[in-house]
Structure 1
């Protein structure tokens, strides 16, 4: 497992490279992995969401202080895909956090190109993303986060219990929720992960 993680980190992109890939996909009207209209449309949508959040995402003063004072060097390896809506709502906040701390190195790998890694971090047996793998300086897994915040996960579970599936109507509900939440749930869950680790 450690060798797999080290290999994954070594070939991972940083956030700027991930955004360059995003832009290239837009220019070429395609997406990563399997090419279909739905995934290409989601990639376009997520590109504009990510660009907007990169400009508008804010982290509270209290949280900023905690992130700035992280003393241990660590790598946050994120399994993601440009077509993933939850990733588009999460990565800009992870990037903001990483920018605040010289001890957090944010790295991103694509799920479909890294099935072996993905299969080590399944959520209830599924390859749900994004997954944030928090690694200490020796590349040991200290915590994981994802694919959604606890609050968003609760919404998903409740909707599925009532309707049996996640449909387009729910995707709209979730998008409105993300807009109102403004990343607070992601930031709070990450803070909790750090406290558990400490």
Structure 2
């Protein structure tokens, strides 16, 4: 192993270790969302009124998905059969619309297998980790990093969106050049109709049990 590769691996290991040490459970993250909504605040470096409003909206979205999102029986059986011990470390922020739709589905899957340990960290507080898991050069969230608990190695990633939603986004960008407010409404409609099912499908693939 050359020196550069060794240094990069050491940096990644350090970023992951520190992030897990400072992480939250899903229950703690949901409690934080509620507190932020009540205090009219938001996570992240941008504390603008727009971000505060997004956080309040996302609190309602997550509350709805926590109550209504269902994992199909066949998927439950596949998830339960996963035998390796892993940590799902997720980068997120309270204002992120994709995170509000995706993370409840991630939690539902993790709850079905005690071998999956779900941890969440805020992106802007863990830039060193985020910089190592960019999407097309951007700090897109949510980003799930699957870590093998025995070896500490990264087994794979998921995010910021399920594959089908990503295709929808890329197709719109090709046709229109950029994401518009109109498209954001279209994407929210897609999430509402999908009910977390394509996130679950992609997570099964991440686990290797699809």
Q: Tell whether the structures are fold-level matches, with TM greater than 0.5.
A: yes
- Deviation, 1:16, is 0.5
Q: If you compute each CA radius of gyration, which structure gives the higher value, 1 or 2?
A: 2
* Distance (whole Å) between structure 2 residues aligned to residue 3 and residue 36 of structure 1: 32
Q: CA RMSD in A?
A: 1.2
1:127 pairs with 2:139 = yes
Matched, 1:91 2:109: no
2:158 to 145, 166, 169: 145
Residue 3 of structure 1: CA displacement?
1.8
In structure 1, stretches of 5+ residues that fail to align are none
1:2 to 7, 10, 13: 13
- 2:9 maps to 1:21: no
Q: Secondary structure at the match of 2:19?
A: helix
Aligned-pair CA distance for 1:163:
1.3
How many residue pairs get aligned? The number is 197
Q: TM-score with structure 1 length normalisation?
A: 0.97
TM-score by length of 2: 0.91
Q: Note if 1:82 corresponds to 2:94.
A: yes
Tell me the equivalent position of 2:41: 30
- The runs of 4+ residues in structure 1 deviating greater than 4 Å are none
CA offset digits 1:101-158 (Å, max 9, x no partner) = 0111100000011110000000000000000000111321001000111100001011
